[in-house]
Amino acid sequence: MIDPSPARPVHLDPLTPLQFLERAAFVYREKAAVRYGQTTLTYPQLYARVRRFARALTAAGIEPGDRVAVLLPNIPPMLEAHFGVPLARAVLVAINTRLLADEITYILQHSGSKLLIYDAEYAAVAAQVRATLPLLRCVAYDDSGAVHADMDYEALLAAASEEPIAFDTVDEDATISINYTSGTTGRPKGVMYTYRGAFLNALGEALETGLDATSNYLWTLPMFHCNGWCFPWGVTAMGATHVMLRKIDPALIWRLIAEEGVTHFNGAPTVLTALVNDPSARRVARPLTVATAGAPPSPRIIRQMEELGAEIVHVYGLTETYGPITVCAKQPEWERLSDSERAQLKSRQGVGYVSAGNVIRVVEPSEDGVLRDVPRDGETLGEIVMRGNNVMKGYYEDPAASARAFAGGWFHSGDLAVWHPDGYVEIRDRGKDIIISGGENISTQQVEKVVVEHPAVLEVAVVAIPDERWGEVPKAFVTLRSGSEVSARELELFCRERLPGFKVPKAFEFCDLPKTSTGKIQKFVLREREWSGRERRVN
C-alpha cells in the first residue's frame, strides 16, 4: 500500500518488489496467481494471504530487520514468504532443503533467525535443529491437515488480519533476503540482496525470458536458490500464473506442461537432461521458453530441447548476482546457421542483462590490483568480474570476505572465461574450489574435511570430474596411512553419514597426490588429467 501523502519528492519512490503483488491484485482481479494440485488462488486472494502472513509475523514478535527462515519446497507458502516476510519488514532466509541438520543449524545461528517455517516433509530435520536450538520458534506447514506440536501455518494466517500494510517507506538499499552459498572454506556465506536489486533483477528476468500476463510459469527451479532467480517477484510483476511443483518429477513435468499450458520454466542442464531422456518426453504443442543456468549447458542438450520445440535462453550468474546477470542474447543472423552451429553459439554465457547494464568484464590477473581487460580474441583466459545493481550488497557478518570479493571495485566470480570478438563471454574453467553439480554448489574443501576424518585416510584432494547427467561431480583422490586399508565403498558410506547425498564423491581413487616442492597439493594436475581432451574445464 502506498501512502497518498508521502513526505518525499514527487519524482522519487523506493524500488521494492512488494509493489508487484499489489499491482497484480489490482489489475488481474480474476486471474489465477497460483495453481498447485487442486488449489487455485487469484491474485487478490494471494495478496490477502500475504497481508495475513505479514501481520501474523508482527503479532508473533518479529520486528523490522529480524530474520525469518523458511525450509519449504516450491509450494504456495514459499511464494507467500517472498512477499509476506519483507512486508513485515523482516529479512527472508530461504534454506536449501537438501542440506543436513548441521548445516541448517549453522545457517540459522549465523543469520540469527528468530523463526523457522518448515514443511512437514522436513519435520525430522527440523526436530534435529530444535534439539540444538531449543529457543528457536517454529511454524509447521502440512497440506495433509495433520497436527504438529509447533504452531500451524494455516491457523496462524487464519487468526491474522488482512488489513493493508504500507510499504512505500522502505529503504530500497535495505536487505530483503539473505541467501547462503557454499564458500571455499566449506561453511556457507550469507549473500545479502537489497529491495532495489530484487526489483531490478525480477524485471530483468521477466524481460529476458519474455514473461507476460498470458504466461504460465512452472516452478522447477528451487525458490531457495537465489530466491528462485527472483522469479517469485518477476512472474508476479507480469501477472503471470505460478504453477507450483513440490519436487522434480520428469513425467509430472511433461504432464503439467500439457495440462496447465506451461509457457516457461527454469532449470539446470541436469534437469533438462532428465526431461529429454524421460519416456514421457514429447514435442510441445505451444511455445515453451526454458531458461537454463547453474552450469554451462552443452550444445547437445540445447539442441535436444530445441528439437522438442523449446526455446532455450542460456543465462549465467551466481548467488552473489541474484542468480542470472548475463544472457546469451540471440542474434537474428543465427537463424541462418545450422542447428549445431547455433547451439554452439547459444552455449556461451553471453552479455549483461538489459536491466543490469554493461556490467561484466573478463580481466587478467594483476599484481598491482588494477583490473585490465583481456583481448576479445576468444582465446585469452581471464576472470569474469561484475558490478552494478544486481551484485550483492555483501556477505552477512563477514566484511573480510566481502572486501576480498569486491577487490578493485568489482565482484570477482572465480569463473575463468574468454571474451569473444562479438562481446560475448564463454566460461572455460573455474578458479574457485567450487563444484557445481546439477546446479548445486559443492565446496571441495568441505568434502575433503569429511573424507580426511576417516582413520585410514592420510590426505585427500577433491576435484570436479565430467558427468553426463550432473554436468560435473566430485571425485576424491586419496592417500592412505601406512598400513591402513579401506575400500571406496566404505569411504562412500562414511561420507553419506556426514554429507548430503549430492556432496558425496561419486568416485574414489587411491594414489600419491601430486605436490609442489613446498608440499602444496597440485589440484590442477588432477583436474587436467580428468578433463583431458575437452575444450572447457567445466561441463
Residues 6+ apart with CB under 8 A from 404: 412
Phi, psi of 477 (to 5 degrees): -100, 120
Confidence of residue 147 (pLDDT cuts 50, 70, 90): confident
Per-residue pLDDT, 2: 60
What are 253-264's pLDDT values in tens digits?
A: 999 999 999 999
Per-residue pLDDT, 6: 59
What are 488-501's pLDDT values in tens digits?
A: 999 999 999 999 99
What 3-state DSSP class applies to 489? helix
Per-residue pLDDT, 140: 97
**Fold annotation for 435-530:** GMP Synthetase; Chain A, domain 3 (3.30.300)
Question: Is the model more confident about 294 or about 405?
Answer: 405
Nearest-5° Cα angle at 383, 377 to 388: 105
Least confident of 124-128, 269-273, 405-409: 269-273
Confidence of residue 184 (pLDDT cuts 50, 70, 90): very low
Q: Return residue ranges of the chain for CATH 3.40.50.980.
A: 38-203
Phi, psi of 430 (to 5 degrees): -120, 125
What are 235-258's pLDDT values in tens digits?
A: 999 999 999 999 999 999 999 999
What are 293-332's pLDDT values in tens digits?
A: 876 777 778 888 999 999 999 999 999 999 999 999 999 9
Between CA 520 and CA 464 the distance in angstroms is 18
What 3-state DSSP class applies to 507? strand
What are 74-106's pLDDT values in tens digits?
A: 999 999 999 999 999 999 999 999 999 999 999
Mean of the per-residue pLDDT values of the chain: 92
- For residue 444, pLDDT beyond 90: no
Closest CA to 323 of 200, 500, 430, 416: 200
**Fold annotation for 357-430:** Luciferase; domain 3 (2.30.38)
Between CA 295 and CA 436 the distance in angstroms is 6
In eight-state DSSP terms, residue 319 is G
Residue 203, CA distances (Å) to 55, 191, 212, 232, 324 in order: 27, 20, 11, 11, 12
CATH of domain 38-203: 3.40.50.980
Confidence of residue 168 (pLDDT cuts 50, 70, 90): confident
Model pTM score? 0.87
Average pLDDT over residues 37-44: 97
Q: Return residue ranges of the chain for CATH 3.30.300.30.
A: 435-530
Residues 6+ apart with CB under 8 A from 153: 77, 117, 139, 140, 141
Q: Return residue ranges of the chain for CATH 2.30.38.10.
A: 357-430
Per-residue pLDDT, 16: 97
Between CA 281 and CA 279 the distance in angstroms is 6
To the nearest 5 percent, what fractions of the chain are helix, strand and coil? 35, 25, 40
Average pLDDT over residues 512-535: 79
Confidence of residue 520 (pLDDT cuts 50, 70, 90): low
